[in-house]
Chain A
Amino acid sequence: AQSVTQPDIHITVSEGASLELRCNYSYGATPYLFWYVQSPGQGLQLLLKYFSGDTLVQGIKGFEAEFKRSQSSFNLRKPSVHWSDAAEYFCAVGAGGTSYGKLTFGQGTILTVHP
């Protein structure tokens, strides 16, 4: 069964500082990987996704993530955080075949940005 672990429940950074949110997954085959962001009271917005090919993927709002198969990781990064990035971030892994589409989410990481 697939699983996702986000080791950091809460991260605080200063505005302008760099950010890295960790995500580790467990999946038997090549995974489909996603990062979503959820602002308070809002739905999930897709930041970026990895299916195959280049292991460094670019997303919206200046975010990027790197797929590292050897470490079973898909960490999210941003070089300079803005106050509007404060939200909760979810890493998810998707399956194919008969389990197509069933996303498994991590527990989420709450990002607080200090001015």
Chain B
Amino acid sequence: GEEVAQTPKHLVRGEGQKAKLYCAPIKGHSYVFWYQQVLKNEFKFLISFQNENVFDETGMPKERFSAKCLPNSPCSLEIQATKLEDSAVYFCASSQGPSTGGHRETQYFGPGTRLLVL
């Protein structure tokens, strides 16, 4: 598609429950990025993929967070045993990939999934 799609729009989980978020990148984009926005304005990079391969996972809290991008399926971000501090908006972005001059590197963001952990 022409836009990054994220589902669900809202997700409410009790502490300790699992949460799974989905992202469909723009068609033709080979890179996918996940960001976490907490306290309304602080963005934190979580992980990026180049096609189905993890490219950079330096931002992932590895104990409870996992992510996948499988061929012909939306990418997913899963949180096992959610905690109160996981409450945030999770954004997915996609880009075409690196290039000389950088124009393919622009990241286009989806509308986000708002996760509330009670």
Which A residues contact B (CB, under 8 angstroms)?
Answer: 32, 34, 36, 42-46, 49, 51-52, 88, 90, 92, 94, 96, 98-105, 107-108
Contact = CB atoms under 8 A, between A and B. Distances in A.
B105 A46 contact: no
Interface string B73-96: 000000000000000000101010
A22 B102 CA distance: 23
A104 B107 CA distance: 12
Nearest to A88: B41
Contact of B56 (A92, A96, A102): A102
B41 A107 contact: yes
Interface of B: 31, 33, 35, 41-43, 45, 48, 55-56, 58-59, 91, 93, 95, 98, 101-103, 105-112
A46 B109 CA distance: 8
A100 B49 CA distance: 11
Nearest to A36: B109
Nearest to B110: A43
B45 A104 contact: yes
Given A52-B102, A101-B56, A107-B41, 16 more contacts: A32-B102, A34-B107, A36-B109, A43-B91, A44-B93, A44-B109, A46-B107, A90-B43, A92-B43, A99-B56, A100-B48, A100-B55, A101-B55, A101-B107, A104-B45, A105-B42
B94 to A, nearest CB: 10
